[in-house]
Amino acid sequence: MSTGPIVIIDDDQAACDALVGLVRASGFAAVGFRSAAEFLRSDGFAQTSCLIVDMQMPQMNGLELHMHLLASGTPIPTILVTGYPNEATKGRALRAGVLCYLTKPCSPADLLDCIGLAAPRGGGAGPADKGPKP
């Protein structure tokens, strides 16, 4: 069974490139976008295995993108990353079905654990099926 890439969306080009590099180095296919709108205009967004999205972006933030995808009937397992953690926002995001809410810079191990949570729902996002740490 083929699966789509893991998509990273971050308006900070350096942060986006760094996450794409980390995900690829871990053996996953990865594609980066600079905005939610750019991602939504792309041809293959429905085949995306997992989203890693910056919480703070212009026009549409990471949680708004997640909610938009749910409302449109195209849910994609989503990991939010933020440089400005907020417990209220974290709670809203997790109640809305976001898999993980990570603070930048996130550890590679934590990010890979979150990607592993997406694998069963995303049809196998990559080579390993990692679960959360006990």
In this prediction, residue 133 carries a pLDDT of 33
CB 82 within 8 A of CB 102: yes
More confident residue, 11 or 128: 11
**Domain for residue 90, yes or no?**
no
Residue 131 placed within a domain: no
93 within a domain of the structure (yes/no): no
How does pLDDT run across 55-107, given as a tens digit for each residue? 999 999 999 999 999 999 989 999 999 999 999 999 999 999 999 999 988 89
CATH code at position 60: 3.40.50.2300
Asked if the structure places residue 133 within a domain, the reply is no
**Structural domain count, the chain:** 1
Q: What is the Cα–Cα distance from 4 to 109, expressed in whole angstroms?
A: 22
Q: What is the pTM of this model?
A: 0.85
Domain containing 17 equals 6-85+104-120
